[in-house]
Amino acid sequence: MAATMKQVVLAAYAQGNPKPGDFRIEEVPVPEAGECEILLKTLYIAVDPLLRFSVDETVLTGAGRMELGQPMVGPVVSEVIASSHPDYAVGDVVEGRSGWQEYAVLAPDLSDYRGPPRKLDRSLAPVSTALGVLGGPGQTAYEGIVKVGRVKAGETVVISAAAGAVGSIAGQIVKVLGGRAVGIAGGAAKCAALLDLGFDAAADYKAPDFADQLRAAMPDGAEVYLDNVGGEVTMTVLPLLKRGARMAMCGFIAYYGVGMEGPGPDRLPGFYRLIMNKGLEIRGFAGMLAGQQGLEDIARWMKEGRIRFAESVVEGIEAAPAAFSSVFSGHDHVGKLLVRVAAQG
Amino acid sequence: MAATMKQVVLAAYAQGNPKPGDFRIEEVPVPEAGECEILLKTLYIAVDPLLRFSVDETVLTGAGRMELGQPMVGPVVSEVIASSHPDYAVGDVVEGRSGWQEYAVLAPDLSDYRGPPRKLDRSLAPVSTALGVLGGPGQTAYEGIVKVGRVKAGETVVISAAAGAVGSIAGQIVKVLGGRAVGIAGGAAKCAALLDLGFDAAADYKAPDFADQLRAAMPDGAEVYLDNVGGEVTMTVLPLLKRGARMAMCGFIAYYGVGMEGPGPDRLPGFYRLIMNKGLEIRGFAGMLAGQQGLEDIARWMKEGRIRFAESVVEGIEAAPAAFSSVFSGHDHVGKLLVRVAAQG
């Protein structure tokens, strides 16, 4: 093993959407594991859109804001390569938040509220899925469609950011439940990928005739809207929803780069008007509430061949800053976007 | 009876909030009742804020937009002074939508979806209450607190426009259910009137320390928010709500004068952020769904002395345009604002 390793540190807080230049790669000594600690070799990094808040200067310290010069912290899958902790053995693969670095030392007994690193069942699926369909994004999709959306057979569900980590799973859960899945994504290639995943219809938000595409995709409206985006996309969706529709809101990527107030004209009056006129029910949720039940259902549906996982992988830790930045600019990847840092074993 | 009568006609569509000059008083012949028709003498006019949409040029005809030069249509209480219809006798007092005029002829069998004029039980309460606590505003308050808000004993409920027709009833229903009622109103006098009605606390949105007042009124936050207003008031309330709070939305008087987009900076990003961070549940509702059950419960609570009605009355049909306009500029009245057009009998 090398004596030094690379890590991605935050060089500057993001102004608007994150840019690769907000980060830098540093070469530091590989840490050593002490008593009851484990040494982890990072296999995959998830460039999670929610990490936007960690690089936001306006977020309170303690609510998750990173300090400048520190390595980025976020969900990763890694392999235990040294352990003096009774619960972890060399060769175990775990999912945790040990950050954007090639190696990390963790003390499982001193974990925060998220708990100790989660040991993965490698027989179930490739370990990278612990960052996608069998991790946070899968749980969020399950919660949005099953718990908050309460989707029933025969209902139409429209999903924004449908080619993303959450959306690509959510649409497939809709199909398992007997609903009709309509996906919104950017570009013809992504829309084709949605149909390939089993969505019934797709609309391209980057196309000039987006509203017409969407109307054609759901001529009778929709009972449920899973929203991860906000902004222009949502203002196009809402007028097409049925009266009394449920909107499950798990993100707002259109607004991650702005604070409480955006640059354009005030869209809140129109949002109020649509909520009232349509008698909409809106529920914000943070995912992770469906918990183990959600992951077990998804794992079973995967075994039955009813849910496929989609992921896009870029190679090398140096690629992480650009991959993370691309999440906010409508990149071309489908499914969960991962950075492969090292091979297993 | 005079041969002519006064009516209030729409002279110009409202630009922003309605102004008295948008209306004019006309003198026209008193109509005569034909076969199966009734002649009504108007007693009270309700200057309902929702009539804002009737005077909005941007609203589609058929969705309720008035034609210029026509008498305003809206909820009134009137007395039957001639009838050739078997269901209505001279002396009956009814609630219907015969408009802002001293007399009107109606054909009950040709009523729209709202149904024929509703005969009032004069032993229950003064007939004017059919436009307030025992009419649409009472039903909206009931629906917001009981059905949408699902208020339970011990919960704190914050109510915007609390001195208005809906809010003043809603707070009292909260007390009947064993909850804690916090009202928001404009001015110290209105806030005092809320406490007099039984609200536990009040905050003055016109005061420079409104946010501090509100925080002091609900130091532990609130489980339910009944919103009739939107805008600055709501953006002050939301950060104080408890996680998972329910927001029942029955109006947005701050935005009635604007279209889909308001003049200021875009507040929708902040609204999204608060919905997500708080895990809020928001439900738009139009009132009138609680129906007969709501009115019966309210009538019983009134008999038991647990709900008092509040109304403010201005005199004479000529006062209607100014009274209606005052609804949108934070007037000083408490409870339902009515115009008394004539005495009964």
Kindly report, residue by residue over B157-216, the tens digit of the pLDDT: 999 999 999 999 999 999 999 999 999 999 999 999 999 999 999 999 999 999 999 999
Considering the domain architecture, whether residues A230 and A249 belong to the same structural domain is answered as: yes
Please tell me the distance from the alpha carbon of residue A95 to that of residue A97, in angstroms, as a whole number: 7
B280 Cβ under 8 Å from any chain A Cβ: yes
| Most confident listed range (A221-235, B54-68, B257-271) | A221-235
B258 Cβ under 8 Å from any chain A Cβ: yes
| pLDDT for the residue numbered B259 | 80
Considering the domain architecture, whether residues A65 and A180 belong to the same structural domain is answered as: no
Taking only the tens place, the pLDDT of each residue in B142-171 is 999 999 999 999 999 999 999 999 999 999
B63 Cβ under 8 Å from any chain A Cβ: no
Considering the domain architecture, whether residues B261 and B175 belong to the same structural domain is answered as: yes
Answer whether residue B11 shows pLDDT above 80: yes
Considering the domain architecture, whether residues A156 and A270 belong to the same structural domain is answered as: yes
Considering the domain architecture, whether residues A51 and A93 belong to the same structural domain is answered as: yes
Domain total for chain B?
2
Considering the domain architecture, whether residues B74 and B108 belong to the same structural domain is answered as: yes
Q: Which ranges of chain A have pLDDT less than 70?
A: 59-63, 287-290
Considering the domain architecture, whether residues B117 and B242 belong to the same structural domain is answered as: no
Asked whether residue A296 is domain-assigned, the answer is no
| pLDDT for the residue numbered A125 | 87
Mean pLDDT of B13-19: 90
| pLDDT for the residue numbered A234 | 96
| pLDDT for the residue numbered B288 | 63
Name the residue of chain A whose CA is nearest to B245's CA.
A283
Taking only the tens place, the pLDDT of each residue in B274-315 is 999 899 999 999 766 667 789 899 999 999 999 999 899 999
Mean pLDDT of B326-337: 84
Asked whether residue A303 is domain-assigned, the answer is no
Shortest Cα–Cα distance, B258 to chain A (Å): 7
Which among A236, A266, A275 is the top mutation candidate for probing chain B, defined by the most B β-carbons within 10 Å of its own β-carbon? A266
| pLDDT for the residue numbered A60 | 64
Do B162 and B171 form a contact (C-beta atoms < 8 A)?
yes
The conformational region for residue B108 under phi > 0 = left, psi -120 to 50 = alpha, else beta, is alpha
| pLDDT for the residue numbered B103 | 97
Instruction: Identify the burial level of B153 via C-beta atoms within 10 angstroms of its C-beta, where 0-12 means exposed, 13-18 middle and 19 or more buried.
Output: exposed
| pLDDT for the residue numbered A235 | 95
The one-letter code for the residue type at A156 is: T
Three-state secondary structure readout of A135-156: CHHHHHHHHHHHHHCCCCCCCE
Contact criterion met (CB < 8 Å) for B284 and A283: no
Contact criterion met (CB < 8 Å) for A259 and B270: yes
Taking only the tens place, the pLDDT of each residue in B67-91 is 899 999 999 999 999 999 999 999 9
Instruction: Identify the burial level of B215 via C-beta atoms within 10 angstroms of its C-beta, where 0-12 means exposed, 13-18 middle and 19 or more buried.
Output: middle
| pLDDT for the residue numbered A53 | 83
| pLDDT for the residue numbered B289 | 63
B255 Cβ under 8 Å from any chain A Cβ: yes
Stretch (H or E) spanning B176: helix B165-176
Predicted-assembly ipTM surpassing the 0.85 threshold:
yes
Shortest Cα–Cα distance, B134 to chain A (Å): 23
CA nearest neighbour of B132 among B175, B199, B77, B61: B77
Mean pLDDT of B19-24: 96
Considering the domain architecture, whether residues B184 and B233 belong to the same structural domain is answered as: yes
Shortest Cα–Cα distance, A86 to chain B (Å): 37
| pLDDT for the residue numbered A92 | 97
Residues of B with CB below 8 A from A276's CB?
249-252, 284-286
Stretch (H or E) spanning B86: none
Which residue range(s) make up the domain with A195? 136-290
% pLDDT > 90, chain B: 76
Considering the domain architecture, whether residues A142 and A119 belong to the same structural domain is answered as: no
CA nearest neighbour of B229 among B199, B212, B206: B206
Residue A71 pairs in a beta bridge with A9
Considering the domain architecture, whether residues B126 and B140 belong to the same structural domain is answered as: no
Retrieve residue A204's tokens: 């391209």
Considering the domain architecture, whether residues B159 and B272 belong to the same structural domain is answered as: yes
Name the residue of chain A whose CA is nearest to B278's CA.
A284
SS3 assignment, position B127: helix
